[in-house]
Amino acid sequence: MTDLEYKIGYTFKNQDVLSEALTHSSYSNEHKGKMNCNERLEFLGDSVLSLIVTNYIFRNFEQLPEGDLTQLRASLVCEKTLYKFAKQIDLGRFIKMSRGERHGGGADRPSILSDAFEALIAAIFLDGGYEMAHEFVMGFITTEIKQLNKKPIKDYKTTLQEIVQKNPGERLEYRLIGESGPDHDRHFVAEVLLNSNSIGKGGGRSKKEAEQQAAREALELMGY
């Protein structure tokens, strides 16, 4: 059993899938692609994580409407939270990355650690099945929910920004597209654009509220 397996309480039958989950693209590139990086596993892990969290909060927060469930889920699977989970198991120490990446602080970079955490979830899922992945994820999620005090996050714009930031180069912007009503009861309509493409619209009694509702719609359309 490796140190990481001891920390997470799971022993892999297939060590190759664990090795792939811990291989950053910089390491794979440094070794001329002889080892697969963890990007494909990260893709799978993101979906497995979302399913586990969605199922849990749907069953345990019956009083919450869809919008609040979306925000609670987003707060539990965002980069900031996954980075915290990764730090709890000292994941950065086990990730294989290029010398330059490690010397540049890669072992403590939120994007790298959160991606590797998702890849680790996928590795457990492939090696041990859904139940083992579920057990691993819930060991973090139940504690996090208690810390959130069961209060869903209402800042849709911040949550959307954190999700988009996981993909370098993508850009969010908000645009006011409508305004109506008398001065004492104005109604604003805003849209949020991702790389100049509209991904959500919303209205409210202020520009800020309209932007929040636009971000909320975008999150829903993105499955968060």
Give yes or no for a contact between 187 and 209, defined as CB atoms under 8 angstroms apart: no
Give yes or no for a contact between 173 and 214, defined as CB atoms under 8 angstroms apart: no
Which of 124, 127, 123, 139 shows the shortest CA–CA distance to 89? Answer: 139
- What is the rounded distance in angstroms from the CA atom of residue 47 to the CA atom of residue 31? 29
Give yes or no for a contact between 61 and 141, defined as CB atoms under 8 angstroms apart: no
Q: Is position 68 annotated as part of the catalytic site?
A: no
Q: Is position 118 annotated as part of the catalytic site?
A: yes
Does an H or E element contain 191, and which? strand 187-194
Tokens 């390491």 label which residue?
27
- Among candidate residues 46, 115, 127, 217, the one labeled active-site is 46
- Among candidate residues 79, 101, 118, 217, the one labeled active-site is 118
Which sequence positions are flagged as catalytic?
Answer: 46, 118
